[in-house]
Every structure is written in C-alpha cells, then in structure tokens.
Copies of this chain bind each other. A is one copy, B any other.
Amino acid sequence: MLSKETCEACRADAPQVTDKELAAYMAQIPEWSGISEAGILKLRRSFKFSDYVSALSFTNKVAQLAEAVNHHPDILLEWGKVTVTWWSHKIKGLHKNDFIMAAKTDELQD
C-alpha cells in the first residue's frame, strides 16, 4: 500500500519509474492524473471544498506533510479548491516517491 511507504529524498541519478511501474502505481491512486508539462511527467489532483477556510486548512496539511519529508509539491489554492502537483525536480519526472506522496495526500482529506 503506497501510503504506508516512506518517501526518501530523491537523488539526481535516481531512476524514473518505468512504464510498467507507472501503470501499477497509477492504479493505486485512481483520482490522480498523469500529466506532461514541458516534457516533465507529473501527478495532479484537484480537491474540492465547501469554503475557502477548508481549502486553506488542506493546503497547510499538504505543506506540512511535504516539509516533513523534504519533498515539495506545487499547491494551487483557489476558493473551495486545492490542486496538488507532485513530481521529482531532480530527475525531471516521476519517482516512486511521488506516488507515495500522492497516496498520502489522499489520506489528508477529512
């Protein structure tokens, strides 16, 4: 179960996920989309909330999780909506860590 694994800081020479791993991991985080931006594969999901304060609270939870493992996503805060994007800057793509972090992000929802 991805959410129970540990995110380790990614080295620049760490391997990107293979296509086979990508398919297996994506199946475990079905709410997330794989996207490509400027040739870099990323994981993205938007979370909906009934107001701004709830969205801000979730933003802080994700940020605290990120800081704890020193792996930081982009977090876009809008009214009633938070969009989280995970990828590994150092390898310019997706590492298993990113799937672990996506799964952990899902668990932060109330």
B59 lies within 8 A of A77 (CB): yes
A76 touches which one: B53, B60, B74 (CB < 8 A)?
A: B74
B67 lies within 8 A of A78 (CB): no
A72 at the interface (CB under 8 A from B): yes
Q: Which residues of B contact A78 (CB under 8 A)?
A: 72, 74
On A, residues with C-beta under 8 Å from B are 52-53, 56, 59-60, 63, 66-67, 72, 74-79
Distance A72 CA – B59 CA, assembled complex (angstroms): 15
A77 touches which one: B52, B53, B63 (CB < 8 A)?
A: B63
Q: Which residues of B contact A60 (CB under 8 A)?
A: 56, 60
Quote the shortest CB–CB distance from A62 to chain B (angstroms). Answer: 9
